[in-house]
Structure formats: C-alpha cells, structure tokens
C-alpha cells in the first residue's frame, strides 16, 4: 500500500477506489497536493492566451513521481478552439433546435475532436440563464428557461463525457458581461434556487466531472469564494462529488477564502494557490482536510475518466471530418427560426424568379460568432451569398450589393424579382469582453440593429415589396422599426461553418424550417428587466423572459417557443394518466400531433404546467417538457411526456426545503409559450399531506 501509484487507483474496482485515493494522497507532500489544485500556465502562456486563446490545451496537476497525469483543458461551446476544428452553430442556435439528441451528438463530436488534439477536459457546457437578451455571451448558452437549459445542458454533458471530462459553467448568476469581474448580484434564496440553479443541479445529477465558478459576486461574496454556493449547495445539498474549478485568471482573489469556500482548482495558473499559500495552510488558515478533500475530488475524476472513450484512440483525421461537417449542417438546418412569412414569400418560387438581389455586408462575411474564448477556426465557412449562389445555380441571376450606397442598392432591388437583406450582429457588437480599450464584444443595451442596417432595409423594401430579411446574431433583436415593411424574416443566429448552405436550403424550400425561439424577442427593451452593463450592484428578480411577459400581460414581438413552418400541424386532445397524484407522484401526458400540410416538417411540441399559485407567487405557466417530432405529410405522432410532481415544487425559504403545493394544476401543450398557441389542455390535482 505504501508504494501505491495513480495506476493502482485507476485499475481498482470502483468500490475500492476511494480507499486507494486516500492512500495515494497520504503519500503526497503539501506542495504536491497544491500542484494538483492549480494550473501550470506561466507568464508566457498567459501572453499567448491573450493572442490566441486555446492554441493548445492548458495543463494542470502532473505528478511524475506518483504517475498522476495532468488534466489538459480546452474550451469551445461551438467547437474545439484548437486547430481547424468543426465549427457548429452557436449554443443558442442549437437551443433553438430544441433537439437534445442532436446536442448530444454534437457534444460527442466535439469530445472526439478535443481528444484527437490532445485535450481530456472540456469547458464548453455553458448553461448560464439568459436573464436579459442584451447579455453579450447569450450565444454561448441555450436560452432563458431553466427546464430547457437543463435538458440541453445534460445532453451536452453526456455527449462530451463519452470521451473526456466536462465542466458546466459559470456557477452562478453570470449574465452580464462587461461588469462580470466585479458586479454583485443581489438575489433572494427562492429566486436563486428556483430560477438560476435548477439546470446546474440537473448536470450534477447527470454526473458532471466539474463545475466552473463564475467571476461575479452573489450577495456580496465572489462566486469563487462562496461557501454557500460551492460547499453548502453544490457539495452538501446536491452531493456533488466532482471538483470545482475557477474561471480563468480572475476567478479567485484570495487563496484562503477560495479554498475554505470550496474551490478545488485554480486555473489556468498557480497564483492565489501559489506563492505563500502552503505557508498559510501550515499555519492552519486552511484545514489540511480541506486540501485533501480538494485533491481527492480531482483524483476521483481523473481515475473515473482515465479509461473513458474509444480504446483504439483518437486520430486527427476526425477533426473537421466529413461526418462532423454534416452534423454542423444538420444543426444549422434545425436551428434557424422563421419569424415572419407573409404572402407566400417563402419558400422561393423558383419558376417566378429570374433575378434576385442580395444586399448587406454580412452576406459575404464568415460570421460565425464571438472571437473570445468560444472562438473556433474552421478550415472554411460557407457565407450566405456563397450558399445562395450555389443553390440558385444558373437558373437565377444573383446580384450582390454590400449596401454602402443606398441609391445603388435601391436600383438593384427595384430591378430584381425579390430582394434579400442580410443583417445582424458580429463579434464587434456582442461577445466576450476583456477591456474597454478593445472595441470588441460586450453587452447590448440597445437590442435594435445598427442604424446603417436598418437604413438598408428601409431603402430596399421601399423599392421591392418582395423583401426578405435574414438576421444573424446571438440573441434577441428588436425589429419594430422595419418589421411591417418586409414580407419574411428568418433568424439564422451564428450558423456555423455550413450556415450558408443551410440558409439557402431553407429559403428555397429544400428544408422546412423547424426552429423555435429559446428566448423571448421583446417589442422593446422597456418590456425587459433592468439591465446595466457596467453595474457594480444589481438585483435579480424572480421574473424574466416569458414568465415576466405572462405575469405582466406584455405582448412580445415574438414569444418564447415560437417559430413558423412551411407546413402545418394539428394537436389532438390531451390525456393525463391520472386525475390525482401524491406530492411525490408522476403522471404521463399523452397527445397526438399531425402534419396537416403537404411538406415534410418537424414540430417542437411544448408542455407547460400552470400551478395553483395560492401558497406563494408563481409563474402563470412554466415549461416542463418538449419534443421535436419529424412528420411526413399526413403522419401522426403520439407523444408521451412525464409530469413529475417534484418538478413542480417551490423552495420554501421558511423551512429551507422544497415544497409541492397541493391543489389543481393545468397542463397545456402546443407550439409556443403563448396561450393562443397552446392547443390542448387538461387538469389534475396534487393531494395534500
């Protein structure tokens, strides 16, 4: 036992592993333990990180004496940042697919590409709740709803962890970019537990290897130092047996406070857990038991994942492979959301179109998202113009104008049979923000398009009534100043390396649009919660997104869950398996969905539950289930969704426990969160104690 090495821990049966981990830790010096708890980046690595983040994996915790391998971390919510990896549509676009199976397959592909390029630890499972659509990194998460976030986050986690460790981030309440390093989020216990943490709990229950803490403060304490978040909730209440790692560089400010709070690993280098930290541990400022616990958590996951993945290894030929590019194309097809389509503007009737004008600088841009830590460097990108020209072939003349001269753009629009305007946002307007000296990224307080782009829309729409607008971006865009002037609007998001191909397929009707919004598109910013991108202190309330719109009776431009199709769907009656259940019970909701149109299409059926709302203030309705259904014309699918009473609980701050309110509940199913789109309903009762 005295000569135990890490290999012995890996080879041991799972039931004996904890004892061997403890024995291995007993052989380690304090210096060796602390090295397990921190990254290995030096000042040169830091300088390279600022020039090209993710150029290579970031190591931590190698111990040659005991045979402990390092963790090799890489990032990438839309693909691996190393090399020329496959670039998938951004996470919020994949959220718009409402397809958990697709997300799991994408994350598995990302895991393969990460392993093929030397990484074994992946940081791309971003599940921060989109409280306000102006958040600069909205594109990195899946949307505004905790249930939807949890389902998609678990799918991302499971896919990646077929091949390597993954961490879910950023824990917690991280949804302002420009003040992320210092903002103090003031939030009550119930809002924290019910709104901002459930999706993290789902990832913990699904076996997350790691959780990354956020930069910001919560109720006065930095997340990286928070005993409440990292120890009381995450480790004690939830039983998390993985390790907590800091966000990079500024994730912790005091090594003693961080370690005592529950931080297990500082990344990417050894600064707060570096010079002088060992002396503080020896003085008793950090109990050695806390150090041993942190090391045990790290070794536990290293051992757990040591034998994960393909036993034959990972070849670099998988990076940007044909199969992965095809997956990126599938994701782009499924994620685009048709927001408006009047007078049969789409799909394009090819027999009626001989000349088409494409206007806007973004039509020729490789606009695939933020250039911060989520940046991917694919071998090529299909732009909207390339995709449309390729699909149009020689049958339709495609004329392009960048829109810089409005008079010229008007002329081209007037002589075309239809005009398409490609507008939206880029990494200059939104994304990760490091400093005010770099004009890149950050939050959006104004959700409208840039003024020059709106001017282009007004100009060309005045010359051609057949005007179609394609919007690129990572979150909601307000459209009230120009929406009534155009026939059709398609939200393309940042669609990845095959975005131009998917866009053309949808516009020409080769693919039926089936995406649904994972975030409410407001009619104006006045409808949204208070947002200050430079806030030092901000209060997060219980309501945001569709829950706020329902509660206040507000009309969005486009509601959460909304998306049009080229075909139509009918919902049959909703049947519940039980009329009454216990507070710990489970019932099944069953209903039919039929494709009543003439084209193959995919419908996202959504299930919402309305609580009694008498014990405490509750949302009007909450999403509790969804399914993406592929249907041929005339085909009917029977859908069964579980409704777990435990998922309907509220957090009772008086007893510090979860409570299921007895009473009458309503279940509604349909095509969006709005009452008029919820086609079928039924009721059930939860019995009291």
Q: For residues 485 and 465, give the distance between their C-alpha atoms in angstroms, rounded to a whole number.
A: 8
Answer yes or no: is 320 within a domain: no
> Are 352 and 447 within one domain?
yes
3-state SS class at 51? helix
Structural domain contains residue 2 = no
Residue at 165 is within a domain? yes
Residue with tokens 């799918």: 155
d(CA 516, CA 95): 8
522 within 8 A of 552, measured Cβ to Cβ = no
H-helix or E-strand spanning residue 155:
helix 146-160
pLDDT in tens, 433-482: 877 766 678 999 999 999 999 999 999 999 999 999 999 999 999 999 99
**Which helix (H) or strand (E) is 32 found in, with range?**
helix 30-36
Whole-number Å distance between alpha carbons of 671 and 596: 14
Do residue 408 and residue 379 come from a single domain? yes
Q: Can you count the helices (H) and strands (E) in the chain?
A: 19, 27
Give 638-685 pLDDT, tens digit per residue: 999 999 999 999 999 999 999 999 999 999 999 999 999 999 999 999
The whole-angstrom separation of Cα 191 and Cα 439 is: 34
Same-domain pairing of 515 and 580? no
| Residue-range definition of the domain harbouring residue 369 | 327-537
661 and 527 in one domain?
Answer: no
| Same domain? 97 vs 181 | yes
Q: What is the pLDDT of residue 52?
A: 81
Q: Identify the band that residue 49 occupies on the pLDDT scale cut at 50, 70 and 90.
A: confident
123 neighbors 77 (Cβ within 8 angstroms): no
Instruction: State the alpha helices, DSSP H only, in 60-188.
Output: 91-97, 100-116, 146-160
Contact 450/403 with Cβ under 8 angstroms?
no
Q: What is the mean pLDDT of residues 59-67?
A: 95
Angle between helices 322-335 and 100-116 (to 10 degrees): 150
Rounded to whole angstroms, how far apart are CA atoms 486 and 469? 7
Query: What pLDDT was estimated at residue 2?
Result: 58
pLDDT tens-digit map of 187-242: 999 999 999 999 999 999 999 999 999 999 999 999 999 999 999 999 999 999 99
Distance CA 677, CA 340 (A): 16
Determine the average pLDDT of the residues in 583-612: 97
332 burial type by CB count under 10 A (0-12 exposed, 13-18 middle, 19+ buried): buried
Together in a domain, 415 and 496 = yes
In three-state secondary structure terms, 360 is: coil
Task: Provide φ and ψ at 670, rounded to 5°.
Answer: 170, -155
How far is it, in rounded angstroms, from Cα 356 to Cα 464?
11
Question: Exposed, middle or buried by CB within 10 Å (0-12, 13-18, 19+), for 121?
Answer: buried
Model pLDDT, residue 615: 87
Largest CA-CA distance found in the chain, in angstroms, rounded: 84
Give me the helix-helix angle, 322-335 and 499-507, nearest 10°: 50
Give bridge partners of residue 641 from the DSSP assignment: 589
**Would you place residue 622 in the very low, low, confident or very high pLDDT band (cuts 50, 70, 90)?**
very high
Residue 1 has pLDDT above 70, yes or no: no
To the query of whether residue 247 is one of the catalytic residues in this protein, the response is yes
* Domain finish residue from 491, 519, 537: 537
Residue 613 sits in a domain whose CATH number is: 2.60.40.10
In a shared domain, residues 339 and 249:
no
pLDDT surpasses 70 at 538: yes
In this structure, is residue 563 part of a structural domain? no
Tens digits of per-residue pLDDT, 100-153? 999 999 999 999 999 999 999 999 999 999 999 999 999 999 999 999 999 999
359 and 304 within one domain = no
Query: Is 549 among the domain residues?
Result: no
Return the pLDDT at 639: 98
Give CA–CA dist 667/678, Å, rounded: 10
Tokens linked to 455: 């001017």
Cα–Cα distance between 67 and 487 in angstroms, integer? 64
Q: Among 537, 555, 578, which residue terminates a domain? A: 537
- Percentage of the residues of the chain whose pLDDT score is greater than 70: 99
Model pLDDT, residue 134: 98
Q: Detail the DSSP E strand segments found in 376-519.
A: 397-401, 418-424, 467-472, 488-491
Tens of pLDDT, residue by residue over 79-91, are: 999 999 999 999 9
Q: What percent of the chain has pLDDT over 90?
A: 92
Query: Would 25 be classed as within a structural domain?
Result: no
Residue 47: pLDDT over 80: no
CATH of residue 361: 3.40.50.1700
Q: For 237-285, how does the pLDDT look when each residue is reduced to its tens digit (9 = 90+)?
A: 999 999 999 999 899 999 999 999 999 999 999 999 999 999 999 999 9
* H helix or E strand, kind and range, residue 679: strand 678-686
180 shares its domain with 258: yes
d(CA 592, CA 516): 19
Q: Residue 164 corresponds to which tokens in the numbers above?
A: 């390597």
Distance from C-alpha of 293 to C-alpha of 482, rounded to nearest angstrom: 58
Asked whether 268 and 41 are in contact (CB, 8 A), the reply is yes
307 lies in the same domain as 363:
no
**Residue 250, class by beta-carbon neighbours within 10 Å (0-12 exposed, 13-18 middle, 19+ buried)?**
middle
In a domain, 18, yes or no: no
Of these residues, 247, 264, 401, 443, which one is catalytic?
247
Tokens standing for residue 586: 């489970």
- How many domains in the chain? 3
Q: How confident is the model at residue 420 (pLDDT cuts 50, 70, 90)?
A: very high
Q: Do 337 and 307 share a structural domain?
A: no
Q: How does the average pLDDT of the chain come out, rounded?
A: 96
Within-domain flag for 207: yes
CATH of the domain at 185: 3.20.20.300
Q: What is the 3-state secondary structure (H, E, C) of 259-290?
A: HHHCCCEECCECCCCCCCHHHHHHCCCCCHHH
| Last residue within a domain, chosen from 265, 283, 311 | 311
| Distance between CA atoms of residues 416 and 398, nearest Å | 9
Instruction: Report pTM.
Output: 0.97
Instruction: Please say whether the beta carbons of 246 and 258 come within 8 A.
Output: yes
Examine the domain organization and report whether 256 and 350 are in the same domain. Answer: no
């Amino acid at each position: 036992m005295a000569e135990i090495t890490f290999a012995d821990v890996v080879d041991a049966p799972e039931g004996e592993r904890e004892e061997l981990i403890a024995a291995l830790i007993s052989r380690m010096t304090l210096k060796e333990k602390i090295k397990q708890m921190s990254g290995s980046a030096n000042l040169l690595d830091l300088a390279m990180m600022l020039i090209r983040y993710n150029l290579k994996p970031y190591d931590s915790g190698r111990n040659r004496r005991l045979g402990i391998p390092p963790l090799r971390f890489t990032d990438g919510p839309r693909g691996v940042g190393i090399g020329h990896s496959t670039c998938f549509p951004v996470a919020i676009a994949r959220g718009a697919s409402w397809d958990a199976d697709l997300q799991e397959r994408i994350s598995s592909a990302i895991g393969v590409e990460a392993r093929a390029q030397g990484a074994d630890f992946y940081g791309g499972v971003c599940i921060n709740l989109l409280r306000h659509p102006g958040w600069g990194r909205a594109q990195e998460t899946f949307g505004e709803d905790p249930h939807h976030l949890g389902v998609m986050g678990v799918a991302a986690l499971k896919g990646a962890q077929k091949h390597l460790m993954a961490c879910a981030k950023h824990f917690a309440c991280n949804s302002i970019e420009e003040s992320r390093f210092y903002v103090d989020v003031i939030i009550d216990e119930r809002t924290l537990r019910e709104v901002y943490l459930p999706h993290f709990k789902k990832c913990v229950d699904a076996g997350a290897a790691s959780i990354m803490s956020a930069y910001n403060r919560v109720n006065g304490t930095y997340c990286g130092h928070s005993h409440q978040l990292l120890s009381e909730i995450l480790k004690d209440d939830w039983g998390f047996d993985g390790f907590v790692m800091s966000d990079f560089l500024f994730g912790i400010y005091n090594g003693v406070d961080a370690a005592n709070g529950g931080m297990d690993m500082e990344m990417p280098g050894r600064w707060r857990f570096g010079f002088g930290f060992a002396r503080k541990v020896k003085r008793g400022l950090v109990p050695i038991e806390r150090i041993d616990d942190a090391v045990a958590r790290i070794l536990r996951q290293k051992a757990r994942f040591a034998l994960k993945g393909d036993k034959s290894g990972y070849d670099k030929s998988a990076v940007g492979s044909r199969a992965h590019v095809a997956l990126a194309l599938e994701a782009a097809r499924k994620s685009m959301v048709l927001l408006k389509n009047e007078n049969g503007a789409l799909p394009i009737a090819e027999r009626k179109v001989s000349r088409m004008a494409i206007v806007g600088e973004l039509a020729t841009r490789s606009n695939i998202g933020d250039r911060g830590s989520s940046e991917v460097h694919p071998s090529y990108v299909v732009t909207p113009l390339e995709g449309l020209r390729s699909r149009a072939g020689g049958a339709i003349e495609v004329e392009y104008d960048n829109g810089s001269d409005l008079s010229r753009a008007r002329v081209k629009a007037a002589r075309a049979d239809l005009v398409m305007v490609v507008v939206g946002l880029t990494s200059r307007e939104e994304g990760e923000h490091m400093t005010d000296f770099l004009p890149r990224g950050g939050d959006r307080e104004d959700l409208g398009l840039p003024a020059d782009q709106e001017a282009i829309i007004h100009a060309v729409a005045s010359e051609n009534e057949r005007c179609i607008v394609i919007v690129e971006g990572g979150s909601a865009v307000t459209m009230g100043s120009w929406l009534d002037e155009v026939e059709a609007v398609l939200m393309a998001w940042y669609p990845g390396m095959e975005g131009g191909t998917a866009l053309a397929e949808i516009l020409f009707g080769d693919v039926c649009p089936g995406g649904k919004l994972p975030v409410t598109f407001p009619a104006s910013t006045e409808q949204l919660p208070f947002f200050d991108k430079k806030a030092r202190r901000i209060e997060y309330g219980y309501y945001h997104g569709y829950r706020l719109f329902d509660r206040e009776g507000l009309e969005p431009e486009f509601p959460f869950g909304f998306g049009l199709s080229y075909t139509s769907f009918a919902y049959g009656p909703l049947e519940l398996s039980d009329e009454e259940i216990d507070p710990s019970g489970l019932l099944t909701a069953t209903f039919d969905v039929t494709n009543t149109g003439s084209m193959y299409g995919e419908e996202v059926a959504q299930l919402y539950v309305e609580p009694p709302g008498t014990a405490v203030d509750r949302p009007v309705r909450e999403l509790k289930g969804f399914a993406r259904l592929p249907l041929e014309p005339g085909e009917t699918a029977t859908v069964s969704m579980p409704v777990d009473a435990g998922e309907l609980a509220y957090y009772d701050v008086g007893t510090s426990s979860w409570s299921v309110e007895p009473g009458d509940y309503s279940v509604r199913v349909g095509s969006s969160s709005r009452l008029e789109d919820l086609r079928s309903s039924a009721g059930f009762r939860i019995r009291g104690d």
